[in-house]
Structure 1
Amino acid sequence: MIGAIMSANLRSYPCLGLSAETKRSLRTRKKNVVGMKKQQQQKIRKFIVNELGGQYEEVFNDVKLELRNWFTAKAVRTVLYQLYEMNPPQYMWLHNFIAENDPADGKLFLRTLAKESQDIAERVMITRLHLYGKWIKQCDHAEIYKEISDENLELMRERLLETIVWPTDDKITE
C-alpha cells in the first residue's frame, strides 16, 4: 500500500529526478501489494456479526465519553479566557500547555494537567461540572428529539427531490 501511495505521489512530482531503477522498483512493489491484497480478500470468510454498533441494546458509553470530552474542552476554553482577563502569566502557561496536550481526550488531558498545575486542573474540573449542570437545566430532550426528526425528514425530502426525474419541456416546444 505504501508503495502504491509513493508511486502516485512521485508521478505528481516529476522534478524529483528518480532514476529508471527506482521507478521500476516502485512499480514492482505496487504490483506485489496489489497481488497480496487479492490473496487476502480471497482468504476472508464472510459471517454475520451481531455485535456491531447501532444495536438497540447499546448503552451509549461512547456518547457519554464524547460529552465528557466536549465539556472538558469547553471548560478549558472558558478557563483560558478567564485567565486571559485576570492572570496573563497563567494564561500563557495554559496556552502553551494546550498547544502540547490536546484537551479532546478529557481524562488524559486533566491527568497531565494535574501533574503540572493542580490548581488550574481543579479549576477546569469545577468549570466542566458547572457547564454540564447548566446544560442539563437548559436541555430539552423533547425539543432535541423533534429537531433530529425534522432534520431527518428534511434530508429525506431533499434526497427524494434529487432522485425524481422531471419531464422535460422538449416535447412541448417541438
Structure 2
Amino acid sequence: MDIKQIAKDTAKTLSSYLTYQAMRTVLGQLHETNPPLALWLHQFSATNRIQNGELYIEELFRENPDLALRIMTIRELLAEEVTEYLPEMVKMEIQRANMEHRRQHLERITQFSLSDPAIESEFSDNSEPEN
C-alpha cells in the first residue's frame, strides 16, 4: 500500500470536486447577474470533462479566461475553508459508515427465515408435543 500515492490521488480527486463546486457557485452567481453567460458556462461545463478539474480549467482558459480565473479563485477559497474541517470529518464519516455497514451485516447474518427447510424442520421437530 503506497500511502503517498493514495494521498496524491485523493488530493487530485478533491481538487477536481472543488473545481466542480466552484463552477456551480459561479454558475449560480451568473444566473442572477448574466443569464446568457450562465447558459454558456453551463453548456461548456456539460461538454467538457469537469471530472478532471485541471483539464477543465485549462480548456476554460482557452475559451473564457475571466471565468477560469473566477472559478480558480472560488476553488481556492473553498479549499481553504474545507480543508480546515476535512481530516476529522472524513475520519468520523468513515467510522460512522463502517459501523453502520457492520451493523447491517450482523443483522443480515443473524436473521433466519422459516422458509429455510433446515430451520423449519428443526422448529417443527421441537414444537410437537411428546406422547
Q: What TM bracket, shorter-length normalisation?
A: 0.7 to 0.9
1:57-94: CA deviation from partner (whole Å, max 9, x where unpaired): 42121101100000001111111111011011211211
Which amino acid in 2 is paired with 1:72?
A: T
1:132-169: CA deviation from partner (whole Å, max 9, x where unpaired): 112123x1533432332232122123212322365665
1:25-44: CA deviation from partner (whole Å, max 9, x where unpaired): xxxxxxxxxxxxxxxxxxxx
Residue 109 and residue 147 in structure 1: after superposition, are their counterparts in 2 closer, same or farther (change >3 A)? closer
Q: 1:163 aligns with which of 109, 113, 128?
A: 109
* Gap regions ≥5 residues in structure 2: 113-118
Map 1:98-109 onto structure 2 (within 5 A). Answer: 98-109=45-56
Q: What's the RMSD between the two structures over aligned residues? A: 2.0
Count of residue pairs the alignment pairs up = 118
Q: CA deviation at 1:102?
A: 2.5
Greater percentage in helix: 2
Percent identical among aligned pairs is 31
Given the two structures, how large is their TM-score scaled by the length of structure 2? 0.78
1:114 matched to 2:61? The reply is yes
1:99, 1:140 → 2: CA distance?
28
2:116 corresponds in structure 1 to none
Q: Decide whether the 8 Å contact of 1:76 with 1:103 is kept in 2.
A: no
Q: Relative contact order (alpha carbons < 8 A, sep ≥ 6): 1 or 2 greater?
A: 2
1:71 matched to 2:18? The reply is yes
